[in-house]
Amino acid sequence: MRHDIFACSCGNVLPLSVRKEHTRGKKHKEALSALVRGESLGQRRNGSSRNRAATHPDNVRNRTHIDLCHSLIISPYNCLPEQEQIHCVHCRKSIDSVDYDAHAAEHIRQQHFDQVRAALEEAKDDKEGVTVTGRNGIDFGILDTEKPVEFMIDVSSALSRVSIRKCRIAPSVKDGVEGPKFSAHLRGKGRVVQKGSTRKVSLIFQPSYAGHVEATLELLFFDIDNSRTFVITRTVEATVGSREDYEELKPKAPYARRKAVPKFNYTGLVVRNNRPPTWTKTLWADRLLGYDPPSRLIEVAYGPRSLGSPKQLLSNVKKFMPTIFNEKTYGAWFQVLLHLEEQQVKLVSAQCFQLFNSQFCDFRNPGST
């Protein structure tokens, strides 16, 4: 009945608070290595081992599992034991033990979300004898104007004197650079609402661009007679635009999600098509001339003669460049630098390809030296 624990893939059941430390520890790695080799907990204690073939193809094709087996020089298709399933009493589903910790974490996340949503709904309730109009929300309606619009709400107290400590529109991440579109302030002098009396709160909306805008009004009260603080919130919304367009575009019926259509499974004979003919060789109308870099320049910069000191190498390269840099020689100057840059790119690309090819061969043959 608890979701603050998790069943680790190594066979241990631990609290979620130590999950990160456990998965990085030595005991977890040793137990996981033993599981991959096919040893159970009792076999590890007795010093015996027995390989068991994996019965779940989806597990052996998992990328994490394959990488782990290659690191231990084990075949990924003949090592995993059959997965144990754990029954979740919360949703009444059977979950693989290796996936149960993530499944439980999802339940905890949903539980926190439900708690926050319940707290927001509770904040809308009238309490401590204080009543605020607009329990189901305050709607300015559809506005086709650029002038500010004001809406008044009533705040009354039936049991004791209360003071309105704060009256504000909660900031929202949806507000643009222009800031919030709503503002609120208490009408009259002072902030005290006497027992049996009513005060007015003014809400002002400044239309800016067409669309639907929502905000939350927060009223922080202090009960003077009982020395108690509480909050009451109200949802405030407005729609900016043409009423005719809104009536034309509004939904005609409640939204109904489209039903999933079962995938068509064809069980008849499948006839393979012939391979398409090989593309004919492209006949070019004319070919561009080759612009190979000077062979002597490449030999000096990257050949056997480039093994000298950097100062000597720079001196050899400068022999191919103009002695004066001006508006007439800058083209030849940068042409030499461009040749050197292109040759460097070719060399780096060749080295990267050779390194990748060697590592790929080692990955495909983990047992090779």
Indicate which CATH number applies to the domain containing 140: 2.60.40.10
Q: How many domains does the chain have?
A: 3
Residue 106 lies in a domain: yes
Residue 271 lies in a domain: no
Same domain (yes/no): 75, 153: no
Same domain (yes/no): 230, 305: no
Same domain (yes/no): 80, 134: no
Residue 213 lies in a domain: yes
Same domain (yes/no): 69, 169: no
Q: Is the pTM of this model over 0.85?
A: no
- pLDDT category at 232 given cuts 50, 70, 90 is very high
Residue 32 lies in a domain: yes
Same domain (yes/no): 12, 105: yes
- pLDDT category at 16 given cuts 50, 70, 90 is confident
Same domain (yes/no): 243, 135: yes
Range of 85's domain? 5-110
- Could you tell me the two tokens for 55? 């019965």
Residue 18 lies in a domain: yes
Q: Is the pLDDT of residue 80 over 80?
A: no
Which residue, 194, 224, 249, sits at the end of a domain?
249
Which residue, 81, 110, 139, sits at the end of a domain?
110
- pLDDT category at 50 given cuts 50, 70, 90 is very low
- pLDDT category at 221 given cuts 50, 70, 90 is very high
Residue 321 lies in a domain: yes
Residue 284 lies in a domain: no
70-74, 88-92, 103-107, 290-294, range with the lowest pLDDT: 70-74
Same domain (yes/no): 214, 299: no
CA gap 99, 121 in Å, rounded: 33
